[in-house]
């Protein structure tokens, strides 16, 4: 489960965003949409903790494993300067996965920020082409729209500052996306900041649409040992009606019906 993976390429997608492709046949062969990898970044000052990233793409034939990332701190900064031939220790694939869309499923993908990377494999493996609702702070933070369009998905955009698409939250696009389809044929797949996902989950319950949400939390071990990444899920047998779940092991993908909304 722990592989030494050489970088094939590490390129700038747009300012602050990168795409790294590893030679990782052992991971690419098993990867499913929604799973993640835990990467030890060699030059990082804090070398103990790995960094988790969604599997952005995986090709079992070539052994290529793609991760799309935003530089936010020391780990991602160090990752961004690695070059072809540099080697990272990668654990994966980790976590559960989204339920793949069935032949009759109309997939509605809802992404905030880097969340579109986690949803790419769902779109790639979906029998039916659907919709991607993509939300970001501003147009500079919109990534991968063209990749989804190339797969035949329609992309609808929202930005907080109105610099592209609808001005407002991406969840405001959902009702319209579902209309015209029978709710039982739709399946919503969400990945993004937790407040966005909680709002999305509640909305899908109101609309009667099945939904799965990737609750990405800060994590340490990535394999269920340290309990740093717990999330609250419903548990009718507990006096408070909820229990903690390790998002790295039992998640990161949860059905919207399981999520505890407080």
Ligand X SMILES: Cc1cc2nc3c(=O)[nH]c(=O)nc-3n(C[C@H](O)[C@H](O)[C@H](O)COP(=O)(O)OP(=O)(O)OC[C@H]3O[C@@H](n4cnc5c(N)ncnc54)[C@H](O)[C@@H]3O)c2cc1C
Q: Which residues bind ligand X (CB under 6 A)?
A: 36, 51-54, 68-70, 72-76, 114, 117-118, 216-219, 252
Q: Which is nearer to ligand X, 114 or 153 (by Cβ)?
A: 114
Return all residues near 29 (Cβ < 8 A) that are at least 6 apart.
Answer: 60, 63
Q: Which is nearer to ligand X, 46 or 206 (by Cβ)?
A: 46
Percentages helix, strand, coil for the chain (3-state, rounded to 5) are 20, 35, 45
User: Which residue is nearest to ligand X, using beta carbons?
Assistant: 73
Name the minimum Å distance from CB 185 to ligand X. 28
**H or E stretch covering 134:** strand 131-136
Q: Which is nearer to ligand X, 116 or 203 (by Cβ)?
A: 116
Q: Which is nearer to ligand X, 65 or 155 (by Cβ)?
A: 65
CA distance 33 to 119: 7
Short-list 166, 107, 161, CA closest to 134: 166
Question: 176: helix, coil or strand?
Answer: helix
Name the minimum Å distance from CB 250 to ligand X. 12
- Residues paired with 221 in a beta bridge: none
Buried b (16+ CB within 10 A) or exposed e, 226-249: eeebbbbbeeeeeeeebeebbbbb
Question: 173: helix, coil or strand?
Answer: helix
Name the minimum Å distance from CB 48 to ligand X. 12
Name the minimum Å distance from CB 52 to ligand X. 4
Short-list 146, 73, 93, 84, CA closest to 116: 146
Name the minimum Å distance from CB 208 to ligand X. 28
Name the minimum Å distance from CB 33 to ligand X. 12
Q: Which is nearer to ligand X, 177 or 213 (by Cβ)?
A: 213
Q: Which is nearer to ligand X, 94 or 178 (by Cβ)?
A: 94
How many CB atoms neighbour CB 194 within 10 A?
A: 13
């Amino acid at each position: 489960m722990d592989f030494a993976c050489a970088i094939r390429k590490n390129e700038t997608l747009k300012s602050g965003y990168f795409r790294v492709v590893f030679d990782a046949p052992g991971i690419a062969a098993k990867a499913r949409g929604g799973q993640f990898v835990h990467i030890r970044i060699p030059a990082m000052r804090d070398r103990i903790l790995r960094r988790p990233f969604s599997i952005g793409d995986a090709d079992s034939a070539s052994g290529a494993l793609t991760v799309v990332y935003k530089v936010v701190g020391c780990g991602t900064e160090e990752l961004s300067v690695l070059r072809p031939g540099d080697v990272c220790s990668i654990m994966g694939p980790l976590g559960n996965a989204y339920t793949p869309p069935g032949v009759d499923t109309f997939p509605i993908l809802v992404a905030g920020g880097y969340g579109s990377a986690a949803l790419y494999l769902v779109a790639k493996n979906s029998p039916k082409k659907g919709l991607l609702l993509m939300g970001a702070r501003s147009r500079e933070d919109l990534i991968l729209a063209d990749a989804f369009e190339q797969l035949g998905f329609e992309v609808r955009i929202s930005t907080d500052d109105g610099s592209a698409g609808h001005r407002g939250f991406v969840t405001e696009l959902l009702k319209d996306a579902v209309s015209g389809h029978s709710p039982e044929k739709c399946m919503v797949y969400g990945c993004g900041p937790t407040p966005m996902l909680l709002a999305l989950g509640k909305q899908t319950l109101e609309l009667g649409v099945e939904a799965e949400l990737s609750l990405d939390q800060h994590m340490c071990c990535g394999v269920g040992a340290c309990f740093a990444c717990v999330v609250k899920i419903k548990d009718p047998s507990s006096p408070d009606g909820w229990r903690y779940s390790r998002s790295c092991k039992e998640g990161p993908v949860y059905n919207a019906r399981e999520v505890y909304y407080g």
